[in-house]
Amino acid sequence: MKIKGYKNFGVTQKIMSELAGVNPSTISKIVSAGDYFPIDTNVHRNIRYSITDTRRIIKKVSKDFSGKKSNMCFYNFKGGVGKTSLCFQVSSHLALMGYSVLAIDGDPQGHLTTSFGFDTDGKFLTLYDVIARNVPIDEAIVNIYEGLDCLPSNIALTRLEPALNELPKREERISIALSSIQNNYDFIIFDTNPTISHINRNIISFTDLINVVVETQAYSLNGLKILVSDLEKFFKSMVMKKPELLIIPNKYEERTAASGEAMGVLREYYSEFLMPDFAIRKSEEFNTSAKNAEPLAFFCRSNSIAFEDLNEVIKYILDKVSHKNSSRPRREEEKISGES
């Protein structure tokens, strides 16, 4: 299996300061005081530092770094809203910030896998092998760069759905399979495919934060209405505590009336799940980033709006999960809701 190496990729001091949420001069001081060296000594502007250095520097300067831990997913059964793009960015940047991240591709289309630079024709193990064929999970996990691991996916994952039906506790197979590595990571992040399937049921049962990415347009909002009500019913019937829900409006266009109206709908009905007055603006950089399999921080300019919005999402998520000990399993007392 051949995957893209990230040996020559790095992050500038400016971007580091943004990620760490500190002043650029703070970063500058740390860099000049420590033994950090630029990856390419020939350039004089936009000097970049290696992934390892970036992680060390940011870890050093950011406040309340430790104690953050979450299993989350990017979920929606409406397709094309930007789940994979955002999942890719959030997981890769959390790793750059010094956290230990496992990104799991739960979509047989394998686009998250592609984003991480996997060769699409390559042979690798997926969640299917782990759950249905009892392959030890460490064998399936692939390291992308320091702090970032990936459990990739390809079309073979479609076989997991019927296999799940045969297994006992079919809504909890992922929780069972991941229990052995749960403590190796700060963040376990799932990308999902846009369906309501047993795979996705497994994923949302496992996570404590569900990031619902929505487009700021009518169909997407209609889908959201169905999704939220379905989630409600699912967790009720599973007798589980509902995970936190974060609705992230995406592809917002300031100039269009439709976007403004969509934000109006979101504020009206879902304000409890929203970041206040926030939406990710539509930007070509997300597409470029996915196409080249390069997280934004590796190439974006310091005034990139895509990076600015992404950074805001990451900060919000970190704030949401901070010091919250994820208490799994979430099963509440058994209540019988009727005979079958």
Partner 1 sequence: MAKVKYKSVSKNLEKITKPSDNTDSRSSIGQSITITEYYELDISRLIPFKNQAREAFSDQEIQSLSQSIIRHGIRQPLTVIKSEVQGKYEVVSGERRLRASVLAGLKKVPCIIIEDSSMSEEIAVVENIMRTDLHPLELSKAFCSLLENNKNLKQKEVASRIGVSESFFSEILKYNTLPSDVKRILLEKNIKERDFFRKLLRTNNPMSLLNETFFSPSKKNQSSNVNVLRVFIKDGEIKVQSGGLINLTHEQKNLIKIELSNLLY
- The yes or no reply on residue 264 touching partner 1 (CB under 8 A) is yes
Binding segment for partner 1 (CB under 8 A), chosen from 31-39, 103-111, 142-150, 214-222, is 214-222
Query: Rounded to the nearest whole angstrom, what is the least distance from the CB of residue 246 to partner 1 in the complex?
Result: 16
Positions in 279-338 near partner 1 (CB under 8 A): 279, 281, 305, 308-309, 312, 337-338
Binding segment for partner 1 (CB under 8 A), chosen from 16-24, 29-37, 45-53, 190-198, is 190-198
- The yes or no reply on residue 65 touching partner 1 (CB under 8 A) is no
What is the token pair recorded at 302? 């310091």
Q: What is the DSSP string of 268-297?
A: HHHGGGB-TT--PBP-HHHHHHHHTT--HH
Binding segment for partner 1 (CB under 8 A), chosen from 59-67, 116-124, 196-204, 284-292, is 196-204
Query: Rounded to the nearest whole angstrom, what is the least distance from the CB of residue 178 to partner 1 in the complex?
Result: 22
> Contact at 8 Å (CB) between 213 and 80?
no
- The yes or no reply on residue 252 touching partner 1 (CB under 8 A) is yes
What is the token pair recorded at 61? 């300067």
- The yes or no reply on residue 340 touching partner 1 (CB under 8 A) is yes
Binding segment for partner 1 (CB under 8 A), chosen from 9-17, 150-158, 229-237, 318-326, is 229-237
Which burial class, exposed, middle or buried, applies to 162 when counting CB atoms under 10 A from its CB (0-12, 13-18, 19+)? exposed
> Contact at 8 Å (CB) between 199 and 106?
yes
CA 161 from centre of chain: 22
Q: Which is nearer to partner 1, 42 or 337 (CB)?
A: 337
**Partners of 103 in the beta sheet?**
150, 189
- The yes or no reply on residue 196 touching partner 1 (CB under 8 A) is yes
**Partners of 210 in the beta sheet?**
73, 245
Applying CB under 8 A, among 35, 121, 166, 268 the residue interacting with partner 1 is 268
Residue type at 245?
Answer: L
Binding segment for partner 1 (CB under 8 A), chosen from 4-12, 135-143, 272-280, 321-329, is 272-280
Of 181, 186, 190, 244, nearest to 65 (Cα)? 186
Which burial class, exposed, middle or buried, applies to 278 when counting CB atoms under 10 A from its CB (0-12, 13-18, 19+)? middle
Helix (H, G, I), strand (E, B) or coil at 173: helix
Applying CB under 8 A, among 102, 224, 290, 297 the residue interacting with partner 1 is 224
> Contact at 8 Å (CB) between 212 and 81?
no
Give the single-character DSSP code of 72. Answer: E
Query: Rounded to the nearest whole angstrom, what is the least distance from the CB of residue 238 to partner 1 in the complex?
Result: 9
Residues that bind partner 1 (CB under 8 A): 196-198, 201, 218, 221-222, 224-225, 228-230, 232-234, 236-237, 252, 254, 257, 259-265, 267-269, 277-279, 281, 305, 308-309, 312, 337-340
